[in-house]
Copies of this chain bind each other. A is one copy, B any other.
């Protein structure tokens, strides 16, 4: 009996990466299976040997992107830097992952809300998104507790940050005047300035 896989294989990871690229570039509905397949020199039909449907492909991409993001942020949050430094680092992570195509979550959510309405699917996504939000929240709360940050409404502040950071994927262009790291640095500066003790009152 013979069994091992042929080595002409395109690795599932390569397909995931291709799908992320195309979803990010064209949105979920705008991306065709043929587009994704072309990115790895396959035909549309061949993709079905690796993923059962376009929808599953999107889920896998979202899952991978958010999952990686969460663990990266988690590492920072559980580290022993001081809160302002942690905040700076996770802003860098967030922006960088958007730019690298890894976190297409933010980009894709702009076009896939209908898809995410599907109950079984939405839950996992929301759970992950909330987990990420909770990590951000913790950094802010720690900073307030130790006096590094002024007291403020943490819920609103975190959502404000999320909006600002997710929006980067809408306007960022590789050919722009600033690198991702520079953009992240500037955004981090904005929020750190805002968090300064005493900055809240006129």
Chain A positions within 8 Å of B, measured between CB atoms, are 25-30, 84, 109-114, 117, 150, 152-153, 156-157, 159-168, 170-171, 178, 183, 186-187, 189-196, 199-200, 202
Contact = CB atoms under 8 A, between A and B. Distances in A.
Copies in the complex: 2
Contact of A111 (B25, B113, B159, B163): B113
A24 to B, nearest CB: 9
Contacts of A165: 163
B171 A187 contact: no
Contacts of A171: 159
Contacts of A161: 164
B114 A26 contact: yes
B186 A193 contact: no
A89 B189 CA distance: 24
